[in-house]
């Protein structure tokens, strides 16, 4: 199919494929950040139920290092804040990529004479 397209259309089709890959990568990064965020929030909630005098350890590479309650709470709150910002940033990036994809897809369809399905559809679904 690509061999019959004019060079401009082939270029746009390649750009669409690149955007689709980018959208998949961003969606995967966002999913990972959301999973980490949920885990950190759960850990923070668990700390609320613990006695402040409890012995606690945190993971540092391959080691468990003793830590106190206040430090554990502070570290987790900081991590939650960072992950919330990262998740929001990835959400915005995902929306921008989706908009670019839809715009490029529309341009390609116009280039192909208002074509019925000239561009690949999977990226238009939004990815997440």
Query: Is 127 a member of any domain?
Result: no
Query: Is 119 a member of any domain?
Result: no
Q: How far apart are CA 119 and CA 123, in angstroms?
A: 10
Q: What is the pLDDT of residue 58?
A: 87
Stated as kind and residue range, the H or E segment containing 115 is none
Instruction: Provide the CATH number for the domain around residue 106.
Output: 1.10.287.370
Query: Is 128 a member of any domain?
Result: no
Give tens-digit pLDDT for 38-70. Answer: 999 999 999 988 988 888 998 889 999 999 999
Query: Is 88 a member of any domain?
Result: yes
Q: What is the pLDDT of residue 4?
A: 76
Beta bridge partners of 59: 64
| CB-count burial class (<10 Å; 0-12, 13-18, 19+) for 41 | middle
Q: Provide the domain limits for residue 26.
A: 2-46+57-113
Residue 58 DSSP code: E
Domain count, the chain: 1
pLDDT tier, 128 (very low <50, low <70, confident <90, very high otherwise): very low
Query: Is 19 a member of any domain?
Result: yes
Q: What is the pLDDT of residue 127?
A: 45
Cβ-contact 86, 33 below 8 angstroms: yes
Give tens-digit pLDDT for 85-126. Answer: 999 999 999 999 999 999 999 988 888 886 544 445 444 444
Q: What is the pLDDT of residue 3?
A: 58
Q: What is the pLDDT of residue 119?
A: 46
For the four alpha carbons of 56, 60, 64 and 66, in that order, the dihedral sign comes to: negative
Residue 59 DSSP code: E
């Amino acid at each position: 199919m690509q061999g019959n397209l004019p060079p401009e259309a082939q270029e746009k089709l390649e750009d669409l494929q690149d955007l689709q890959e980018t959208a998949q990568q961003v969606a995967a990064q966002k999913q990972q950040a959301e999973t980490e965020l949920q885990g950190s929030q759960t850990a923070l909630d668990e700390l609320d139920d613990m006695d402040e005098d409890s012995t606690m350890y945190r993971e540092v590479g391959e080691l468990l290092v003793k830590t106190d309650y206040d430090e554990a709470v502070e570290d987790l709150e900081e991590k939650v804040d960072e992950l919330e910002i990262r998740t929001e940033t990835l959400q915005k990036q995902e929306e921008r990529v989706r908009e670019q994809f839809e715009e490029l897809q529309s341009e390609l369809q116009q280039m192909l004479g208002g074509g019925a399905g000239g561009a690949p559809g999977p990226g238009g679904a939004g990815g997440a």
